[in-house]
Amino acid sequence: MSINLDQSSILVTGGAGFLGKHVVAELEQRGATQIFVPRSADYDLVSGDGVRRLFERVEPDVVIHLAAVVGGIGANRRHPGRFFYENLMMGVQLVEESRRCGVEKFVAVGTVCSYPKFAPIPFREDSLWDGYPEETNAPYGLAKKMLLVQTQAYQQEYGFNGIFLLPVNLYGPGDNFDPESSHVIPALIRKFVEARESGAESVDAWGTGSASREFLFVEDAARGIVLATERYKRSEPVNLGTGREITIRELAEKIRDLAGFEGGIRWDASQPDGQPRRCLDVQRALEFGFRAETGFDEGLQRTVDWYLAHR
């Protein structure tokens, strides 16, 4: 049975964040009117008491769990314990409270970091358990992967209606450009813009540039999540992506050109590349009608333009 968004009370954890704002906008566009976005200052989702208070307040029919403690390679290396504990506890308690309260559908949004470090390209959902994740983000990836274990176990024992989505690296307007915690695209955009304005001769970039990544425009990701909320019914995990990869070196050169920086790029091979390659098989998402629509060059241009207008 499909979910009627216009008749459902929908709880969106992380709904004030980068992805969350776009998911809320997509829900509204598709007719949802009862959307609740909890603030961390009001509800501590790492705490069982905080989660129970939230559910008493909202009484949701649908939960879309986007909240996460997340960052780039540097942040993952600095906070592996915190990233594991807080992401695990949020997920475990939200799923349990959803089961206890009879939530109609739980949408768990995981991470591509859950895949094994050397998963065959393209990553197919069936490969998720074929090895250990890349070390720098394994605690975060494993904590998020426990949502899949829990929703499937609860489906088996309780008939719980939970789905698990695996979006690839996201980017777009409204991203996090903080150099301490940002991911690769916003980090490079900021570096190249500031280098152009300061007249620097070169920009330093982590790694060798040889690793590849796949990127999904945030508006496409939001549309995929809402479509899955409405239509996807199975407990098997689903990739959300484009099915196309680009090396970090090529990415950096694209962003350098868009930012108008004419200097060089110095690659710091003493810093980690992270996972060697990332590229998803995106066939399963076609089951509920999702296909990425935003071209990468268009999405990058819109992200650079947003940063220049809002920094």
CATH number at residue 288: 3.40.50.720
What single-letter DSSP state applies at residue 134?
P
Determine, yes or no, domain membership for 59.
Answer: yes
Give ∠ CA 227-229-295 in degrees, rounded to 5.
35
Determine, yes or no, domain membership for 191.
Answer: no
For CA atoms 280, 288, 36, 20, give the dihedral sign.
positive
Domain count, the chain: 1
**Residues labelled catalytic:** 140
Higher pLDDT, 206 or 299: 299
Q: For 199, left (φ over 0), alpha (ψ -120 to 50), or beta?
A: left
pTM of the predicted protein model: 0.94
Are 62 and 107 in contact by the 8 Å Cβ rule? The answer is: yes
Determine, yes or no, domain membership for 199.
Answer: no
Give the pLDDT mean for 111-136.
95
**CA-CA distances (angstroms) from residue 260 to 195, 244, 302, 304, 305?**
10, 25, 15, 11, 12
Alpha-carbon distance 176 to 303, whole Å?
11
Is residue 75 over pLDDT 80? no
Per-residue pLDDT of 6-31, as tens digits, reads 999 999 999 999 999 999 999 999 99
- Number of Cβ within 10 Å of residue 33's Cβ equals 12
Per-residue pLDDT of 251-298, as tens digits, reads 999 999 999 999 999 999 999 888 899 999 999 999 999 999 999 999
Is residue 222 over pLDDT 90? yes
pLDDT for position 287: 96
Is residue 76 over pLDDT 80? no
CA-wise closest residue to 28 among 8, 43, 42: 8
Q: Which amino acid is at 238?
A: V
Are 93 and 154 in contact by the 8 Å Cβ rule? The answer is: no
Residue 87: pLDDT band with limits 50, 70, 90: very high
Is residue 114 over pLDDT 70? yes
Alpha-carbon distance 255 to 187, whole Å?
10
Alpha-carbon distance 300 to 218, whole Å?
11
For CA atoms 59, 167, 90, 15, give the dihedral sign.
negative
Alpha-carbon distance 166 to 287, whole Å?
15
Determine, yes or no, domain membership for 50.
Answer: yes
Determine, yes or no, domain membership for 92.
Answer: yes
pLDDT for position 208: 96
Per-residue pLDDT of 27-67, as tens digits, reads 999 999 999 999 989 999 999 999 999 999 999 999 999 99
Average pLDDT, the chain: 95
Domain that residue 46 falls in: 5-173+215-244+279-294
Give the pLDDT mean for 154-173.
97
Determine, yes or no, domain membership for 311.
Answer: no
Q: Give the whole-number percent of the chain exceeding pLDDT 90.
A: 91
Q: How are beta strands 34-36 and 9-13 bridged, if at all? A: parallel
Determine, yes or no, domain membership for 86.
Answer: yes
pLDDT for position 182: 86
Per-residue pLDDT of 248-264, as tens digits, reads 999 999 999 999 999 99
Tell me how far the alpha carbon of residue 97 is from its chain's centroid. 23
Determine, yes or no, domain membership for 185.
Answer: no
